[in-house]
Chains A and B, each alone.
Chain A
Amino acid sequence: MIRFVIQRLLQTIPVIWVIITATFFMLRWVPGGPFTAERAVTPEIMRNLEAHYGLDRPLYRQYLDYVGSVLRGDLGPSFKYPTRTVNEIIAEKLPVSVELGLLSLGVALCIGLPLGVLAAVKRNTWIDYVCSSFAMVGICVPTFVMGPLLILAFAIHLGWVNASGWYGPIDRVLPSLVLGSVYAAYVARLTRGGMLEVLSQDFIRTARAKGASETRVILKHALRGGLSPVVSFLGPAIAGIVTGSFVIEKIFQIPGIGREFVNSAFNRDYTLVLGTVLLYAGFLIALNLVVDVVLVWLNPKLKFE
């Protein structure tokens, strides 16, 4: 297994390099730069600005310098927020997104797993239909509809929580519910599917024949296999959820990294775009690796190779 992990980690080096290179050059190819503004500055001011940020040097030099500084762990200064470095912005905002992401994930699993199991076990009964409809609604209703509706009900009419902001623990409730419910819906559907497949297999019949109780059959024998699709889904989902959700962070005015991910591209904040892309890529690669390891553990038929 260690060999497998090391091999996979080595494979990520060229992947990261391709991502940095492609993003770097695509960004420069897009029309407009960090200092393109409605109010045009005079040519001499523009020259001095570009000189300050090193944008007047040949592109290949800028690229080599950037790669060099990334290797040293320095993601450079932000163009849009000149007093902050990209490292600082990530250090400041990633924890907020991670906190929101983990809470939402908790919500997703606490709601999604039981619903999925229940739906599979009581398949084609009204319980199944209720659980499946919940999942369908959760997937179909977008967060930008559910978020404002919940704010209207719980913040403006009932006054239990703030309409937006990220101050006390109470402010975590609505955003994690909204973000979590979408993932809960997927988790429920995938769990149901996975469980149905496993429940029809021979070893389950054997377990039942040997007299294992229904609870034991489901929780001990079936769930382990039934979770495989959920685990495969969770890898990229966690990478997405902890690097921030643009929509949720916008609706609830949460100071997370998800907004930077989108806004930095609009602002042509070259270094911040590259920083957030690298961050997301890193998470995605790491979590996919974790998923592969967990899947082998869940399914003895798979091997590390």
Chain B
Amino acid sequence: MALLAGCAKTVPTPEAAGQVPAPHRPQVYRFGNGFEPQDLDPQIVQGIPELHLIEALFEGLLTEDPKDLHPTPGLASSWEISPDGLVYTFHLRENLHWSDGSPITTDDFLLSWKRMISPKLASEYAYLIYNFVKGAKDYYDAKITDFSQVGLKAPDDHTLQVTLLSPTPYLLKIIANHYVWHPLPIKTVLKFGALDERSTQWTQAGNLVSSGPFMLKEWTPQKRIVVVRNPYYWDASSVKLDEIDFFPTEDLPAEERMFRDDQLDRTQEIPVDKINSYRKNHPELLHIDPWLGVYFYRCNVTRPPLNDKRVRKALALAIDRESLIRDVTRANERPAYAVSVPDDSGYTPRAQITGTLADARRLLAEAGYPDGKGMPPIELLYNTQSNHREIAEAIQEMWRTKLGVNIDLLNEEWKVYLESQHTHNYQMERAGWIADYEDPHVFLEIWETNNGNNDTLWSNPEYDRLLHEALRAKDDAIRYEIYQKMDAILVDECPVIPIFYYTRAYLMSPKVKGSWPNLLDNHPFKSIYLDD
């Protein structure tokens, strides 16, 4: 209270902060949110349900355009980048407040970043700061203990300065599209524990204080989470919804029934077997948006016969992706003939896996397996789920009839499958990769030698060199040309066999407005409203 009284002069009342008078009927958006969130601490969580909640509750220096997700001013009204691309300077808005009325200060930012790279907090996303910022990795590894040696500074009360190790052309996109750089209400965090203490009670309803368009009102696990308009948000006047109710909807058929019963305005997903029926009977409710992700088969390139790139290429050529999408996956996915996703921040890979069936057979014969004869057995691993099985069976049949190659299918429970993948205990496996932020770098960095997510044991020195060269590129045009070369290497060597680019299929009531399809499936709640 003393704190509130002390800064009473600068704290706007809700009315002054621009709260618009409530419309005739309160605007309550009922949102199917998939799984129950693990936590609401932006430095602890990783999942999509958590992402949606954080999007409603918190805001960072930058935010994203609801249509194409390009970075737009958030808590920072403007920013500059030094000519060498190493120093980013952000200017905070005047009069920023947390949802309890206390001011958002540069200390909130600095201490949040310090918390994020504290080894004791063990944040899974810490690398999204320490990989880029000068001195941050040393701080994380406890080689230095003085945070002032890290390239994160506040020259004055309204300015933040970030000094990088090397130019990071996609840094602004990470700050805008992702939540790792968001400031936390440090006073609240400290009220419930030490700065670097994991999982304290500060994120519970009644405790959590937020910086975004909404604030937390209720969190009943497995039942619902309610957020309401934050009167202290700097742009409160453009927020149209009064309340968002997030429902945990982990069972897809149950979620679809809730939607039909008018308990939800938007679902998280739709069961695959319902897509065609909605397409025919209620196309106005069905939404299928392209999504920034690729579905592929990963090869362990150390195990024969997949150690021969001709075999991998032949298998990649013999998949009829169009018919797979039409008959099996059914959600308008785009066939993938390269690893990078097309139209990603203006980048589209030119290299494509192209060739006829005759080419595939020739490659196989060159590798010593004419018509698949004499080929060592191949086992395809997938995580136990019916859609992965259906896709695997279809591809198994294509390879059998087109190439004479017989493969075995093996399924494992999710965590067992992940363990097999990370320990390279597989020959070929189904996998997917979804971007955290919009930039082609996301899909190319993981194939670097020894990247923790490579898991193919594939290594190409030229590829690694290009990846680092790209980061030093003067502008995106030059950088993207380097990426073209990298995509060409991937297409030539096929350590992974791209199959399709994901889409996001869900149901949404026609009364929901201000939600646009975009590649990350981020729909800022600030712009959404209901037109009854």
Q: How far is the CA of A90 from the CA of B215 in the complex (A)?
A: 28
Instruction: Closest A residue to B47 by CB, please name it.
Output: A37
B window 317-360: CB within 8 A of A? none
Q: Given A42-B452, A156-B257, A259-B222, do A52 and B122 touch, yes or no (CB 8 Å)?
A: yes
Q: How far is the CA of A259 from the CA of B432 in the complex (A)?
A: 27
Instruction: Closest A residue to B253 by CB, please name it.
Output: A148
Instruction: List B contacts of A33 (CB < 8 A).
Output: 415
Q: How far is the CA of A259 from the CA of B120 in the complex (A)?
A: 32
Q: B216-229 CB contact bits vs A (8 Å, 1 = yes)?
A: 00001111000000
Q: Given A42-B452, A82-B38, A255-B222, do A164 and B263 touch, yes or no (CB 8 Å)?
A: yes
Instruction: List B contacts of A164 (CB < 8 A).
Output: 254, 257-258, 261, 263
B232 within 8 A of A: no
Instruction: List A contacts of B420 (CB < 8 A).
Output: 31
B419 within 8 A of A: yes
Instruction: List B contacts of A81 (CB < 8 A).
Output: 36, 38-39, 221
Tally A residues with Cβ within 8 Å of B. 49
The answer to whether B127 touches A40, judged by C-beta atoms less than 8 angstroms apart, is no
A165 within 8 A of B: yes
Q: How far is the CA of A159 from the CA of B261 in the complex (A)?
A: 8
B window 412-460: CB within 8 A of A? 413-416, 418-420, 422, 432, 452-453, 455
Among B21-29, B91-99, B199-207, B507-515, the stretch in contact with A? B199-207
Instruction: Closest B residue to A254 by CB, please name it.
Output: B222
The answer to whether A42 touches B418, judged by C-beta atoms less than 8 angstroms apart, is no
B window 113-148: CB within 8 A of A? 119-124, 126-127, 140-141
Q: In angstroms, how far is the closest chain A Cβ from the Cβ of B116? A: 11
Q: In angstroms, how far is the closest chain B Cβ from the Cβ of A188? A: 29
Instruction: List A contacts of B141 (CB < 8 A).
Output: 44
Instruction: Closest B residue to A50 by CB, please name it.
Output: B122
Q: In angstroms, how far is the closest chain A Cβ from the Cβ of B1? A: 26
A window 18-42: CB within 8 A of B? 30-33, 35-42
B46 within 8 A of A: yes
Q: In angstroms, how far is the closest chain B Cβ from the Cβ of A298? A: 39
Instruction: Closest B residue to A260 by CB, please name it.
Output: B222
Instruction: List A contacts of B201 (CB < 8 A).
Output: 83
Please tell me which one of the listed residues A49, A151, A162 contacts residue B122 in the complex, with CB atoms under 8 A apart. Answer: A49
The answer to whether B120 touches A52, judged by C-beta atoms less than 8 angstroms apart, is yes
Please tell me which one of the listed residues A31, A43, A162 contacts residue B263 in the complex, with CB atoms under 8 A apart. Answer: A162
Q: How far is the CA of A48 from the CA of B412 in the complex (A)?
A: 28
Residue among B44, B251, B453 with most chain A CB within 10 A: B251
Q: How far is the CA of A84 from the CA of B201 in the complex (A)?
A: 9
Q: How far is the CA of A288 from the CA of B243 in the complex (A)?
A: 49
B303 within 8 A of A: no
Please tell me which one of the listed residues B251, B415, B418, B419 contacts residue A250 in the complex, with CB atoms under 8 A apart. Answer: B251
Q: In angstroms, how far is the closest chain A Cβ from the Cβ of B384? A: 10
Q: How far is the CA of A237 from the CA of B200 in the complex (A)?
A: 38
Instruction: List A contacts of B248 (CB < 8 A).
Output: 253
The answer to whether B140 touches A163, judged by C-beta atoms less than 8 angstroms apart, is no
Q: How far is the CA of A151 from the CA of B120 in the complex (A)?
A: 48
Instruction: Closest A residue to B413 by CB, please name it.
Output: A266
B476 within 8 A of A: no
Q: Given A36-B422, A42-B452, A163-B263, do A92 and B123 touch, yes or no (CB 8 Å)?
A: no
Q: B16-54 CB contact bits vs A (8 Å, 1 = yes)?
A: 000000000000000000001011010010100000000
Residue among A77, A89, A156 with most chain B CB within 10 A: A156
A-B contact pairs, 22 of them (CB 8 A): A36-B419, A41-B127, A44-B140, A45-B126, A48-B119, A52-B122, A83-B200, A83-B203, A92-B221, A148-B253, A152-B257, A156-B260, A163-B260, A164-B257, A250-B250, A250-B251, A250-B254, A251-B253, A251-B254, A253-B248, A253-B251, A253-B258
